[in-house]
Amino acid sequence: MSKSFDATTKTFRDYTAEEQADYDARMKIYNDNIVPKKLEAVKKLRLEKLIETDYLANSDVTMPDNVKTWRQTLRDLPANHTNEAAYDALLARDSDGNLTNSVWSKP
Amino acid sequence: MSSEIKADKWSPASGTSATIGDSGDTYTVPSGVTLNTSSATLTLPSTVITGQTAKTSLVDADKFLISDSAASGALKYVEKQYLPSGDYVRLGSIDQDLGTSQKIQFTQVFSSDYDQYKVIGTANVGSNQQAEVYFRWLNSSNAEQYASSYGYSGYGRYSNTDDSGGTIGFQKMSESDVKLLDDFHGGSYGRNIYFDLTLYPRINPSNFRPGLQGQICYNAYNSGNGGWYSQSIGAFYAEDTDLSGGGLQIECNTSWDYVRMNVYGVKNT
């Protein structure tokens, strides 16, 4: 049973049945969206990494082959990672907040 | 009474000072007698104040002694209700660990004394996961207002731990609540949400249509440990709902941990 705190009366109480049903319905939506949101986060990171090396696609510079390969790997991430565990592995970070999956490291 | 002194004037026998009685003596000025010191220099002991009983909660009729500058310094009193005060009046507060509670409610804080309200504070949540936070209005019966009439939008920027970042934007209409944020990283006292919201429970005397706007900052989940969001948000509730005597609710989809939050009314006169 979920709980509510009334800051005016400084009292806790359990949710009513109606509140609990409303909460449960929203939690179902939340849980249904967890995996899509993780994929969204992967795509956001991928876009950031691609943008960092977009300048190498300019006509006056030559993009190294290993960067080309890395960029293609990034583009293929959603196709090659299709479940929550795979997304978690891509989004993993160390205690300092740095991404730990090597796929994000530019060669 | 052993004897009575009758004299028109007392003066020191020598010099310019004299003493009445000895330590432990008590002299009483009886009822009906006037002790007029209005033209004298009167030195009072500090115990006139410090020797009194302390009062810890003032009420409107409590009185303070003043020297009226507009009346040649005449002594007058002023009541607490007439003392100037700030335009922000604190109406509710939380400063505690809320354990496993999902909802924070500030019930029955709206009144005719105020047109706008400020909600400021910090909070964190106990669960180490992506957390969402929702807002709803409460009416005077503490009933949540959840018609699918909330609309909101926001804009901001996030920073990743490696200094990279980007913009965020969101918008929703016909919702049953306002999703204030949806990517908070809970599970640590070191990660917080900062709230600074202004509430408009009634936009003018003839229309309700409550709304809010504000700024929210928080440690992000999907942008990584230590990632940071700063975002603005504006929202309205497209219902002519009378919220007089009502309040507000902020709900988390996991559970609140330590919350330090205040609601202030902004005086309209």
Output the pLDDT for position B180.
95
Output the pLDDT for position B190.
79
Q: What is the pTM of this model?
A: 0.75
Percent of all residues in chain B with a pLDDT value above 70, rounded to a whole number: 98
Mean pLDDT, all residues of chain A: 91
- Which residues are within 8 A (CB) of B259 and not within 5 positions of it... i.e. 6 or more apart? B94, B95, B96, B97, B98, B104, B121, B122, B123
Nearest CA-CA partner of B212 in B195, B228, B229: B195
Task: Give, in degrees to the nearest 5, the angle at Cα A52 between A75 and A61.
Answer: 95
Output the pLDDT for position B162.
73
| Distance of alpha carbon B206 from alpha carbon A77, whole angstroms | 55
Output the pLDDT for position B29.
93
Q: Across A24-28, B42-46, B151-155, which has the greatest mean pLDDT?
A: B151-155
Output the pLDDT for position B204.
82
Query: pLDDT-derived band of residue B188, with 50, 70 and 90 as boundaries?
Result: confident
Is the model's pLDDT at A10 over the cut of 90? yes
Output the pLDDT for position A92.
86
Question: Phi and psi for B163 in degrees, rounded to 5?
Answer: 75, -5
Output the pLDDT for position B207.
82
Average pLDDT over residues B191-217: 92
Residues of B in contact with A87 (CB under 8 A): none
Query: pLDDT-derived band of residue B84, with 50, 70 and 90 as boundaries?
Result: confident
d(CA B219, nearest CA chain A) in Å? 11
Residues of A in contact with B104 (CB under 8 A): 4-5, 7
| Distance of alpha carbon B178 from alpha carbon B168, whole angstroms | 17
Residues of A in contact with B183 (CB under 8 A): 37
Query: pLDDT-derived band of residue B119, with 50, 70 and 90 as boundaries?
Result: very high
Average pLDDT over residues A15-42: 91
* Residue among B94, B98, B105, B159 with most chain A CBs within 10 A, to mutate: B105
B73: left (phi over 0), alpha (psi -120 to 50) or beta: left
Torsion (CA) A35, A38, A40, A41 in degrees, nearest 10:
180
Q: Which two tokens stand for residue A30?
A: 């939340």
Is the model's pLDDT at B222 over the cut of 80? no
Is the model's pLDDT at B185 over the cut of 90? no
Is the model's pLDDT at B224 over the cut of 60? no
Q: Which chain A residue shows the shortest CA-CA distance from B160?
A: A97
Average pLDDT over residues B168-189: 89
* Residue among A2, A32, A50, A88 with most chain B CBs within 10 A, to mutate: A2
Query: pLDDT-derived band of residue B226, with 50, 70 and 90 as boundaries?
Result: low
According to DSSP H, which parts of chain A are helical? Answer: 17-52, 65-75, 77-80, 84-91
- The per-residue pLDDT for range A32-80, each reduced to its tens digit, is 988 998 898 899 889 988 998 999 888 888 989 999 999 999 999 999 9
Output the pLDDT for position B223.
59
What SS3 string covers B117-128?
EEEEEEEEECCC
Decide: helix, strand or coil at residue A62: coil
Task: Find the CB nearest B94 among A4, A7, A96.
Answer: A7
Task: Find the CB nearest A7 among B93, B160, B223.
Answer: B93
Residue B183 contacts residue B223 (beta carbons within 8 Å): yes
| Distance of alpha carbon B167 from alpha carbon A47, whole angstroms | 12
Contact B101 A44 (CB under 8 A): no
Beta bridge partners of B262: B93, B120
| Distance of alpha carbon B115 from alpha carbon A59, whole angstroms | 60
Identity (one letter) of the amino acid at A57? A
Q: Which two tokens stand for residue B85?
A: 């005060």
- Which residues are within 8 A (CB) of A61 and not within 5 positions of it... i.e. 6 or more apart? A55
Residue B160 contacts residue A99 (beta carbons within 8 Å): no
Distance (Å) of CA B131 to CA A57, B134, B181, B193, B240: 39, 10, 8, 11, 31
| Residue bearing the bigger pLDDT, B131 or B1 | B131
Average pLDDT over residues B139-152: 96
Residue B182 neighbours by CB distance under 10 Å: 18
Residue B224 contacts residue B191 (beta carbons within 8 Å): no
Torsion (CA) B101, B103, B108, B110 in degrees, nearest 10:
140
Task: Find the CB nearest B105 among A2, A4, A38.
Answer: A4
Distance (Å) of CA B108 to CA B103, B138, B185: 15, 8, 31
Q: Which two tokens stand for residue B134?
A: 């929702």
